[in-house]
Amino acid sequence: MEAVHRVDAVAVRGGEVFAQAGDPSLTYFMRSSSKPLQAIPLVRSRDDLPDDEIAIACASHHDTPEQVAAVRALLARAEATEDDLELGPQAGRPPEPIHNNCSGNHAGMLALCRTRGWPMQGYRLPEHPAQQACLDVHAEAAELERGEIPRGTDGCGIVTFALTLEQVAHAYSRIESLRGGGRVADAMRARPDLVGGPDGADYLLMRDAPGWLAKSGAEGLLCAAGPDGIGVALKTDDGASRAHAPALAAFLAQLGIDLPELALRPVINTRGERVGEIVSA
């Protein structure tokens, strides 16, 4: 054994906790797990968006050609350019902002601004109408007052929102009941390959479990929503995302959901050889 990751998890349905592991009252910033909620104001403002453009607005993409092409399409719909993206360079990627893994999310905000007639400059700042619209959706989904939600600045420069794991799971359980939320969920399930990478727990869950949607966030957060109004939130205490898949599989097994490909994730070396595995203890 080389490492141990402790994971807190909670499942909510109808506003009530019905499964938990650890402490569901812990509070964390949602980071990129907010992206499906942040896409809802865009979907509400226009009905001409195809699945790929909605999915990339929800994405933490891996800079594949297909993902970058989806970002470009969403920028074109916004009548914006890469220069309008208020993003910094990301380590290990080309310096242009479109290669940042949050560029689709930011392109979606630019498209929202274009549609609503809001200024594009400063769309990432807390007082901008785009960020206020995102705050409104988070409050609506979590059934909280706007002032109850602590805010900070995410790694890509936009506003991030802090909720307890239980509140996050409740918000995810309500996504499809929100106006525009069903369209976001359908697009994510249709194009999970655009939402994340092929080894991510969010991608694997959407691929293997019909009716589920999921989105990871920085520092070890993973949020998901399933059929019958189930919302799930997991947080790895040390911020490691590699524990997500087996932890999610172990937690969902309590709900009668079998996910063998998530339960055991291989460790592959640079030669492509399987040299270990990641499993839940």
State the greatest distance between any 2 C-alpha atoms of the chain, in Å, as a whole number.
55
DSSP lists the bridge partners of residue 267 as: 276
CB atoms within 10 A of CB 255: 13
Is position 273 within any domain?
yes
Residue carrying the six token digits 């509140």 = 167
Is position 92 within any domain?
yes
Is position 1 within any domain?
no
Burial class (CB in 10 A: 0-12, 13-18, 19+), 21: middle
Is position 2 within any domain?
no
> Tell me, what's the pLDDT at 44?
98
Is position 238 within any domain?
yes
Q: What is the pTM (predicted TM-score) of this model?
A: 0.96
In the chain, the number of structural domains is: 1
Query: Rounded to an integer, what distance in angstroms lies between the CA atom of residue 234 and that of residue 10?
Result: 7
- Closest by CA to 35, choosing from 62, 7, 55, is 55
Query: Rounded to an integer, what distance in angstroms lies between the CA atom of residue 99 and that of residue 232?
Result: 30
- Closest by CA to 54, choosing from 154, 180, 173, 211, is 180
Query: Rounded to an integer, what distance in angstroms lies between the CA atom of residue 159 and that of residue 80?
Result: 21
- Helix 201-208 to helix 244-253 angle, to the nearest 10 degrees? 40
| CATH code for the domain in which residue 258 is found | 3.40.710
Burial class (CB in 10 A: 0-12, 13-18, 19+), 143: exposed
Q: Tell me if residue 259 falls in helix, strand or coil.
A: coil
Residue carrying the six token digits 């402790």 = 6
Is position 38 within any domain?
yes
- Closest by CA to 58, choosing from 137, 139, 118, 119, is 137
CB atoms within 10 A of CB 95: 9
Domain containing residue 101: 7-279
> Tell me, what's the pLDDT at 33?
98
151 membership: H or E segment, kind and range? strand 151-153
- In order along its 281 residues, the chain shows pLDDT tens digits of 999 999 999 999 999 999 999 999 999 999 999 999 999 999 999 999 999 999 999 999 999 999 999 999 999 999 999 999 999 999 999 999 999 999 999 999 999 999 999 999 999 999 999 999 999 999 999 999 999 999 999 999 999 999 999 999 999 999 999 999 999 999 999 999 999 988 899 999 999 999 999 999 999 999 999 998 999 999 999 999 999 999 999 999 999 999 999 999 999 999 999 999 999 98
Is position 54 within any domain?
yes
Query: Rounded to an integer, what distance in angstroms lies between the CA atom of residue 84 and that of residue 93?
Result: 19
Burial class (CB in 10 A: 0-12, 13-18, 19+), 119: exposed
Contact 154, 126 (CB under 8 A): no
> Tell me, what's the pLDDT at 191?
97
- The encoded tokens of residue 79 equal 């009548």
Residues in the chain, overall count: 281
Q: H helices then E strands: how many in the chain? A: 12, 10
> Tell me, what's the pLDDT at 139?
98
Q: Which bin fits 31, alpha (ψ -120 to 50), beta or left (φ > 0)?
A: left
Residue 193's alpha-carbon distances to 60, 215, 239, in angstroms, are 11, 12, 23
Is position 219 within any domain?
yes
